[in-house]
Amino acid sequence: MNFSIILLGKLFSKLITLFNLGGGATWPGHIALILNENFIKEILKNSETKIILVAGTNGKTTTSKIIQHILKSDNRTTLHNASGANLLNGIASTLILNSNFFGKIGKDFAVLEVDENTLPLALNQLTPDFLVLLNLFRDQLDRYGEVNTIAQNWKKAIEKLPKKTTLILNANDPVIAFLKGNGQTFYFGLDEKSNFSQVEDWADSVFCPKCNSKLVFTKVYFSHIGVYVCKNCEFKTPLPDLTTSYYPLLGVYNKYNTLAAVLTIKISGIDEKVIDKTLKSFGPAFGRQEKIKVNGKNIQIFLSKNPTGFNESLRTVKNARSVLFALNDRIPDGRDVSWIWDIDFESFSKNFRSIIVTGDRTYDIALRLKYASFKNVIAEKELKKSLALSIRKTNQNETLYILPTYSAMLEIRKLLTGKGIL
């Protein structure tokens, strides 16, 4: 059965690529799962490939990419699912493309990123050797539901995992640190001066996941990520096993992605000397602080798809002179754009010389900026025109910073590089 599925899937994928139909990363798996809903389970059952599963609202792609980069530098063979293919059908497709016709995978490691809602389903199909959990923030409430609901579903699924699964958890996110499996658990977290002393009033997880009392934060690195204690039940930040590293990317959130990746690598038995050396040669995942040069001008793209991500991007580019915000409301972005009112524009400097806004919801983001007292905002609905205008308004020695939602990021990259998604 699986032999024919793989044959069909590989053939299908070739046809998709050949005729440039798009969706080659998900369709073969989609069909495989219709034909055999236990396809993933059966393929992985007898495999010796170590599975690293990465989940969280922000940072999945970057963390997976760092892990993979280090593994490859240590001459380990890996497979991974392409960004945007992080549902079960994407995982199944990845397995089809990376196995031989008899379903044998023959790679040392599978680095798989999974969507928040998919994690419990994925854990029914496969048992990871390492489960890396980054954070949970509000994101696309219309699609994912509320943070607490996701946290509950994760908790139930993780409690059922066998001893063989090692958990790698963010000590600074209360709902993540609260999770318990049956195997070993390691924590990563920061131990440095914090940006804030208080959580912002809209942060997601400021209550004790154990007893619902309000947590007391002594350090806040961003949103609800920090050092906390519950005065009622004594639940508190676990002592991290890793607090520092060389950081190849800007931004506090990328420190967490790096720590998560490095801790995973260390536990999986890779020589420590390899790590520092290879981190220095790491380049960002597409659209995540990716630098592109157009007409001699520097452009950097900061995918910003939810309030926490957007705030952290703004903090990272705070000295920018020229910015472009691109807000779409398609399915990968979330249909609801209410979240832009949770971005803390009010706290950021108004020093931008050129602010241009674009996307399906150009005027929603323009309106948000009006109420945050930003002046001289140019609204240009046409993405292509907005991009050309932004580049024109950026001086030779400056960088144009683009903060797009997911689908806007894909479009912008396509326009800038002419290369499409990868």
Partner 1 sequence: MNYKLTIGWLYPELMSTYGDRGNIIVLKKRCEWRNIGVQVLNLNEGFKTEDLNKCDLLFMGGAQDRQQKIVSIDLRKKAKMLSSLIEQGVPGLYICGAYQFLGKYYKEADGTTIKGLGMFDLYTENPGENIERLIGNVVVDSKFGRLIGFENHGGRTYLGENVKPLGKVLKGYGNNGEDKTEGAIYKNSFGSYFHGPILPKNPKLADHLIRLALEKKYGSPIKLSPIENSIEDKARKTIAKRLNINL
Q: 380: which 2 tokens?
A: 């240009």
Site size toward partner 1 (CB under 8 A) is 35
Residue 27 CB, nearest distance to partner 1 (Å)? 26
For the segment 91-150, give every residue that binds partner 1 (CB under 8 A). 138, 141-142, 146-149
Q: 359: which 2 tokens?
A: 């996307």
CA angle 249, 254, 255 (to 5 degrees): 100
Strand order in the sheet with 297-302: 288-294, 297-302, 399-404, 322-326, 354-358, 377-379
Does 202 sit near partner 1 (CB under 8 A)? yes
CA 36/CA 28 separation, integer angstroms: 12
> Which lies closer to partner 1 via its Cβ, residue 51 or residue 340?
340
Task: Assess contact for 11 and 5: CB atoms under 8 A.
Answer: no
CA 273/CA 386 separation, integer angstroms: 46
Does 215 sit near partner 1 (CB under 8 A)? no
Residue 120 CB, nearest distance to partner 1 (Å)? 15
From the list 206, 220, 230, 410, which residue makes contact with partner 1 (rule: CB under 8 A)? 206
Does 335 sit near partner 1 (CB under 8 A)? yes
Q: What pairing do the DSSP bridges indicate for beta strands 225-230 and 215-222?
A: antiparallel
> Which lies closer to partner 1 via its Cβ, residue 202 or residue 348?
202
CA 114/CA 150 separation, integer angstroms: 13
Residue whose token pair is 């940006």: 195
Does 368 sit near partner 1 (CB under 8 A)? yes
From the list 339, 352, 401, 406, which residue makes contact with partner 1 (rule: CB under 8 A)? 339
Does 338 sit near partner 1 (CB under 8 A)? yes
Does 384 sit near partner 1 (CB under 8 A)? no
Interaxial angle between packed helices 272-279 and 252-267, expressed in degrees from 0 to 180 and rounded to the nearest 10: 150
From the list 3, 196, 246, 371, which residue makes contact with partner 1 (rule: CB under 8 A)? 371
Stretch binding partner 1 (CB under 8 A), from 157-165, 251-259, 315-323, 367-375: 367-375
Does 375 sit near partner 1 (CB under 8 A)? no
Tell me which residue of 269, 242, 250, 255 sits closest to 185, measured CA to CA.
242
Q: What pairing do the DSSP bridges indicate for beta strands 377-379 and 399-404?
A: unpaired
> Which lies closer to partner 1 via its Cβ, residue 50 or residue 138?
138
CA 66/CA 168 separation, integer angstroms: 15
From the list 227, 340, 383, 412, which residue makes contact with partner 1 (rule: CB under 8 A)? 340
Helix (H, G, I), strand (E, B) or coil at 377: strand
Does 332 sit near partner 1 (CB under 8 A)? no
Does 382 sit near partner 1 (CB under 8 A)? no
Does 207 sit near partner 1 (CB under 8 A)? yes
Does 361 sit near partner 1 (CB under 8 A)? yes
Stretch binding partner 1 (CB under 8 A), from 58-66, 117-125, 201-209, 282-290: 201-209
Torsion of CA 294, 300, 301, 307, to 10 degrees: -150
Which residues form the interface with partner 1 (CB under 8 A)? Answer: 138, 141-142, 146-149, 201-202, 206-207, 212, 214, 307, 335-342, 346, 360-364, 366-368, 370-372, 379
